[in-house]
Amino acid sequence: MVVLLKQNPDKKQLDGLVQWLEGIKIQVHMSEGLHHTIMGLVGDTSIVDIDLLKALEIVEDVKRIQEPYKNANRKFHPMDTVVNVGNVKVGDGNFTMIAGPCSVESLEQMKLIAKEVKKSGANMLRGGAFKPRTSPYAFQGMREKGIEVMIEARKESGLPIVSEIMDPSQLQFFEDVDLIQVGARNMQNFELLKELGKLRKPILLKRGLANTLQELLMSAEYIMAGGNEQVILCERGIRTFETATRNTLDLSAVPMLHSLTHLPVIVDPSHGTGIAKLVKPLALAAAAVGADGLIIEVHNDPAHAASDGPQSLTPEAFDDLAKAVNNILPFAYKGE
């Protein structure tokens, strides 16, 4: 951390600051110049509140040089983390294919889709039971019944199941869910993250629509600080000025995250584009860029899907996509 002092800082305030920093075990190095004095802070600066420093009268600016996350930081954990979801390994060279409908609608539907996507090579089944919808008048999901349907569908297919939680009060229904998803709108629902940190089961953490990679890693840090280290990150598109696609899928996030963290990173091209015909090309791109997996919306009847119809693939289209992805994988980016 680097602190730029104002010209001619008050001597007493400066001494106070240095003492305080040294008291919390931070080494202080001063570089005095003609116009500016720079303080270099060395030590565990993740505990220093950058805003507090900025507010001091004698301080002009503060720049953080070390990342404010520890558990998620590759510098301190150089080896890739592998997250075990049921019998599926995610990360460190394993490619995961998660597929299923946006919303759970019925047991028949889930059984049918599970069978189809498994045949095409999916190794996890997704399905939304609790649905975050912009409008209070839109379908809000089957809720706990939907989770029951998912569990039933797992029995037959053997695929581990993934579903989204929206609130800590729903935790009781997720005990038997293999991978608990935190949606983009809840990426900074810190009370929820803390509760998930108390669990010892895998969490799929989606990047918020307007959140930086550093904020995504800080949210992962919330979960990990509670002792739950089984976090999978998911790039699912960010909000930009472009309106041709629903979101802008940020694929540079994948190799960038891989350099910053040891956690696995998967990609959601369905929400990332919002348009069914773009899902396949972006899935291929995500595989090529080195993602640890994909999460794809598949519906037997997209035109009548209860939510997010326009971005869902038919099982046939998913089969075509999965084959194309498998062709790319041997030639995908494997890191430096």
Residue 108 has φ and ψ, to the nearest 5°, of -60, -50
Residue 295 has φ and ψ, to the nearest 5°, of -125, 120
By CB under 8 A, is residue 133 in contact with a copy of itself? Answer: yes
Toward a copy of itself, which CB reaches closer, 22 or 156? 22
Toward a copy of itself, which CB reaches closer, 55 or 176? 55
88-117 residues in contact with a copy of itself (CB under 8 A) are none
Check if the beta carbon of residue 319 is closer than 8 Å to that of residue 120: yes
Check if the beta carbon of residue 69 is closer than 8 Å to that of residue 44: no
Q: Are strands 2-5 and 59-63 parallel, antiparallel or unpaired?
A: antiparallel
- Residue in this structure with the two tokens 């350099």, named with its chain if needed: 259
For residue 229, the minimal CB distance to a copy of itself (Å) is 14
By CB under 8 A, is residue 8 in contact with a copy of itself? Answer: no
Identify which range of 81-89, 103-111, 120-128, 273-281 contacts a copy of itself by CB under 8 A: 273-281
117 Cβ partners below 8 Å, 6+ apart?
99, 100, 125, 159, 298, 315, 318
Toward a copy of itself, which CB reaches closer, 37 or 96? 37
21-40 residues in contact with a copy of itself (CB under 8 A) are 27, 29-36, 38, 40
By CB under 8 A, is residue 121 in contact with a copy of itself? Answer: no
> Both tokens of residue 219?
């949210």
Q: How far apart are the C-alpha atoms of 280 and 148, rounded to whole Å?
A: 30
Check if the beta carbon of residue 91 is closer than 8 Å to that of residue 83: yes
Binding residues with a copy of itself: total (CB under 8 A): 115
- Tell which one of 86, 168, 199, 314 touches a copy of itself (CB under 8 A): 168
By CB under 8 A, is residue 242 in contact with a copy of itself? Answer: yes
Other C-beta atoms lying within 10 Å of the C-beta of residue 193: 25
By CB under 8 A, is residue 290 in contact with a copy of itself? Answer: yes
Residue 186 has φ and ψ, to the nearest 5°, of -105, 10
CA atoms within 13 A on the CB side of 301: 10
For residue 304, the minimal CB distance to a copy of itself (Å) is 7
Convert residues 176-215 into a mask of x (bound to a copy of itself by CB under 8 A) and - (unbound).
---------xx-xxxxxxx-------------xxx-xxxx
Nearest C-alpha neighbor of 179 from the set 119, 117, 266? 266
- Residue in this structure with the two tokens 């597929």, named with its chain if needed: 99
Identify which range of 108-116, 118-126, 146-154, 275-283 contacts a copy of itself by CB under 8 A: 275-283
Toward a copy of itself, which CB reaches closer, 122 or 166? 166
For residue 41, the minimal CB distance to a copy of itself (Å) is 8
For residue 298, the minimal CB distance to a copy of itself (Å) is 14
DSSP 69: -
- Tell which one of 80, 148, 152, 250 touches a copy of itself (CB under 8 A): 250
292-321 residues in contact with a copy of itself (CB under 8 A) are 302-305, 307-310, 312
Q: How far apart are the C-alpha atoms of 244 and 126, rounded to whole Å?
A: 27
> Both tokens of residue 332?
């995908």
Check if the beta carbon of residue 117 is closer than 8 Å to that of residue 110: no
- Tell which one of 105, 116, 178, 221 touches a copy of itself (CB under 8 A): 221
By CB under 8 A, is residue 252 in contact with a copy of itself? Answer: yes
- Tell which one of 106, 108, 239, 316 touches a copy of itself (CB under 8 A): 239
